[in-house]
Amino acid sequence: MENKVRKGLEGVVAAETAISYIDGEQGELIYRGHHAKELAINEGFESACHLLWYGDLPDKNKLGKIKQEFRNGRQLPDYVKKIIQLLPLETSMMSVIRTCVSAMGDKERAWPPSVTEAIHLTAVIPVMIAMRQRVLEGKDMIAPHPTLDHVANYLYMLTGNEPSKAHVKALDAYFVLTMEHGMNASTFTSRVVTSSQSDMVSAVTGAIGTMKGPLHGGAPTEVTSMLESVGMKENAEKWLRQRLENGEKLMGFGHRIYKTKDPRAEALKEVTRGLTAEDTWLDLAAHVEETAIRLLEEYKPGRKLYTNVEFYAAAVLRAVSMPNSLFTPTFTAARVAGWTAHVIEQANDNRIYRPQSLYTGDKPVS
């Protein structure tokens, strides 16, 4: 039988999963039977993590328990704090995360991988990011807050100030909507590593290395630049129209998978709609989106170019004063929940990945 090469494994089904489902034609993203959009609006990050890891949404008691487990899991070993301080300042944040996570591997080599490990890794990655950012700013590292929830604690550790409820709600929704997205490159990496019966730390380290690549974890900084260039709502139509007349793209519109409205963008739009009165940046983003959609239909009729998640991700991350250099690391801090869910699922029905390759080199002359 002739082997057909599918570059990038496009269209190849590599695993069965009950974790998430994506329908690009219908604009659906589902986590274990629940629309991700509804989870982002009505649930918090810890609740959505419980769903991915355990298969159900927690009741009040279970939610309280997992929130406390997150708080307990935020403590970093002293040697990891030393690594954060001693790595050269020019080391990228993604490389810092990868190195620190890898350094935690010796004590977490259990098989099969567990939810306890998943909680710990998900809890500590934002701590690593925040502590390293403080080092880069020449400031003292801040200890985790004893009572704040996961996303609020991340913002607190970056600044030393308790964040506003509006900012926590917006970033929490972002975390829920980016925590999982099917068999993407980093998730596949985590499952491949796990398939060899390696530990969860190694699987997450590999996934971080994949996310570091610009083709996968590229940050929505171009959207931020666009919004900054627009500056004020009064400038939006003139600025956007000029871009379109010059044949240039509007960043944050259109998506490779979703051929209709991106459900993640729709959810972030709904969450931030009620916050625009509290944040001028979100108010600007909402106006730019509305204007851009109208102009795209005028200049590119029938193309169905809708807002993608990067547009509102950029709006949310900028609104909470997240520096551009932390966009991909923050994406990583959310996605680790999905990676660890896939690691556990892979281990529960495991077979080592061993695809074939088609040899195209020379052969010995007889």
Q: Active-site residue numbers?
A: 255, 310
Largest CA distance in the chain: 78
Say which DSSP state 188 is in: H
The answer to whether the CB of 330 falls within 8 A of the CB of 317 is yes
Query: What CA–CA distance (Å, rounded) separates 156 from 85?
Result: 19
Of residues 3, 37, 1, 41, the one with CA closest to residue 20: 37
- Would residue 4 be called left, alpha or beta, if left means φ above 0 and alpha means ψ between -120 and 50 degrees? beta
Query: What CA–CA distance (Å, rounded) separates 351 from 201?
Result: 19
Of residues 135, 126, 155, the one with CA closest to residue 331: 126
Run of H or E including 70: helix 60-72
Question: Is the N-terminal amide bond of 112 cis, ω within 30° of 0?
Answer: yes
**In the block, residue with structure tokens 């869910």:** 341
Q: List, in sequence order, every residue forming a beta bridge with 20; answer none if it has no partner.
A: 31
CA angle 91–316–240, rounded 5-degree value? 105
**Three-state DSSP class for 34?**
strand
Query: What CA–CA distance (Å, rounded) separates 362 from 144?
Result: 58
Contacts of 175 (CB under 8 A, 6+ apart): 45, 150, 151, 333, 334
Measured N-to-C along each axis, helices 236-245 and 280-299 cross at an angle, to the nearest 10 degrees, of 40
Tell me the CA end-to-end span of the chain in Å, nearest whole number. 25
Nearest 10 degrees: Cα torsion 241, 242, 248, 251: -60
Of residues 152, 158, 175, 176, the one with CA closest to residue 71: 152
